[in-house]
Structure 1
Amino acid sequence: MARAVPETHDEILTAAARRFGTTGYRGTSLQDIAREVGCSKAAVLYHFANKEAILTELMAPAIDALRALDERIAAHRGAAAQRVAAEGFVDLAVRFRREIALLRGEFPELLQQPAFAHIQRISERLVEALAGHPERPAARIAALVVLAGISETCGEFVDVPDEELRPALLALVRRALEPVD
């Protein structure tokens, strides 16, 4: 028997994360989330204005950490900015790999939504810092591939302990990027 209203706000978030992980953000409807929770769509809408609001709340800690990384990078130049960007992005990918995995393959479309538009600007600054050589196309290509590759695959490493995943990713990033002189 379905309950009239979910017990908690978090129950909806948990169900949404599960559904997004299974069928993707686009492939999940509010009705799917409601069904998973065992309530009506209206009950979900009582807690959240729309599906984007659910995603925004799910991603808020990761987005806050990304903003903080952007501020740390802005305080540096050259090799220091590249090091802060590389270590900071790897730390984010390790810490938030489950959240990032929810959006696999859907980043470009989601970045078009108003709630996530600022992430595109942060991503561009992150690529610039990782590349270290804005005048060299190969450096920019390497930075883009590193960001995209880690973002698209980090969900595959859910079972890898943080203390193994972080050094493996950092080694990969260091091999891929041109050092800044």
Structure 2
Amino acid sequence: MTVEAPDDTRTRILRAALDLFAEHGYQRTSLRQIAERLRLTKAAILYHFPAKEHLLAALVEPLVADLEALLDAAEAGPAERARWTVLEGWVDTILGHRRPLGMLFHDIALVGRGDTYHRLMRIAMRANDLIAGPDAGRRERVRAVQAVAACSDPVVFFTDIPVEVLRADMLDGVRQLLGDPPEDLPTGDFGAATGGDAPRGRRRPGRPQAMGPEQVEAARRMYAEGRQSADEIAAALGVSRATVYRHLDPASRR
């Protein structure tokens, strides 16, 4: 006989709640519907979650906690790495929580309930400060806010795009807004910062910093076609993104 783990029912409730919230929206989903989906009583749901708002908070908690861990890691590391630690880590964290983020987007007013809203606001302000940098002026602070949006919003609007492709496009847009990180500046282990696996797609140390004539021609052709981002071209050619950009016609950079 298999004994059910103490938290297994709670996990099942959260999974069913996320499914139903995604299908019908938070407001139109009742605790009774969740109970019926799992063949439980409403009382069994209330035992784990005394109110429906507690379900929402529990679903959002992993995203919020991972963002807080990311910012803690960025603040603890070298100041010159903080901006790109936050930016790349933010993209990876948001992509890792793609589904609950989509649920929140459709019921965004709900985050105003309880402590979740205040935590998200503190996270946003910390991220903006780290991306803008010390002694930032108005323009730098505005662009920091824009960068956070660029690292978040596409995840909700482009749900049909594979993670690796969307990640490359999002970071490509942020780099065009803020400029490239220094070529010799290594990025941190963003997966470790949030307790997960290191994200794929980051530049590996030792990639060539120069391209032959045929590679240059191929890079320019691929970029002009508009079907691949600079990150994808760099991965295909085995060089860094900065190396690709050095060989592109400035007029072709979008």
Quick one: which amino acid aligns to residue 111 of structure 2?
L
Q: How does 1:1-181 map to 2 (within 5 A)?
A: 8-76=9-77, 78-107=79-108, 109-132=110-133, 135-177=136-178
Distance 1:160 1:121 in 2: 30
Task: Tell me which of the two structures has the higher relative contact order, counting C-alpha pairs closer than 8 angstroms and 6 or more residues apart.
Answer: 1
TM-score, normalising length: structure 2: 0.58
TM-score, normalising length: structure 1: 0.77
How many pairs were matched up? 175
Distance 1:31 1:134 in 2: 53
Check the 8 A contact 2:94/2:155 in 1, yes or no: yes
Q: Once the two structures are superposed, what CA deviation does each residue of 1:22-42 show, in whole Å capped at 9, x if it has no partner?
A: 344344332343343344422
Q: Identify if the C-alpha distance between structure 1 residues 147 and 33 changes in structure 2 by more than 3 Å, giving closer, same or farther.
A: farther
Distance 1:147 1:136 in 2: 17
Tell which structure's C-alpha radius of gyration is larger.
Answer: 2
Q: Once the two structures are superposed, what CA deviation does each residue of 1:105-150 show, in whole Å capped at 9, x if it has no partner?
A: 5446514522453232122100111223664333323322332354
Deviation of residue 85 (structure 1)? 0.9
Check the 8 A contact 1:100/1:151 in 2, yes or no: no
Q: What secondary structure sits across from 2:105 in the alignment?
A: coil
Distance 2:112 2:175 in 1: 27
Aligned-residue identity in percent:
32
Partner of 1:4 in structure 2? none
Q: Identify if the C-alpha distance between structure 1 residues 38 and 81 changes in structure 2 by more than 3 Å, giving closer, same or farther.
A: same
Deviation of residue 88 (structure 1)? 0.9
Unpaired runs of 5+ in structure 1?
1-6
Q: Once the two structures are superposed, what CA deviation does each residue of 1:35-58 show, in whole Å capped at 9, x if it has no partner?
A: 433444222112222223222322
Distance 1:76 1:133 in 2: 15
Distance 1:134 1:180 in 2: 19
Q: Identify if the C-alpha distance between structure 1 residues 177 and 35 changes in structure 2 by more than 3 Å, giving closer, same or farther.
A: farther
Deviation of residue 81 (structure 1)? 1.2
Q: Identify if the C-alpha distance between structure 1 residues 118 and 159 changes in structure 2 by more than 3 Å, giving closer, same or farther.
A: same
Q: How much is the aligned-residue C-alpha RMSD, in angstroms? A: 2.9
Q: Identify if the C-alpha distance between structure 1 residues 168 and 73 changes in structure 2 by more than 3 Å, giving closer, same or farther.
A: same
Q: What secondary structure sits across from 1:104 in the alignment?
A: helix
Check the 8 A contact 2:64/2:119 in 1, yes or no: no
Check the 8 A contact 1:34/1:40 in 2, yes or no: yes
Distance 2:101 2:37 in 1: 21
Distance 2:13 2:163 in 1: 27
Deviation of residue 91 (structure 1)? 1.0
Deviation of residue 17 (structure 1)? 0.6
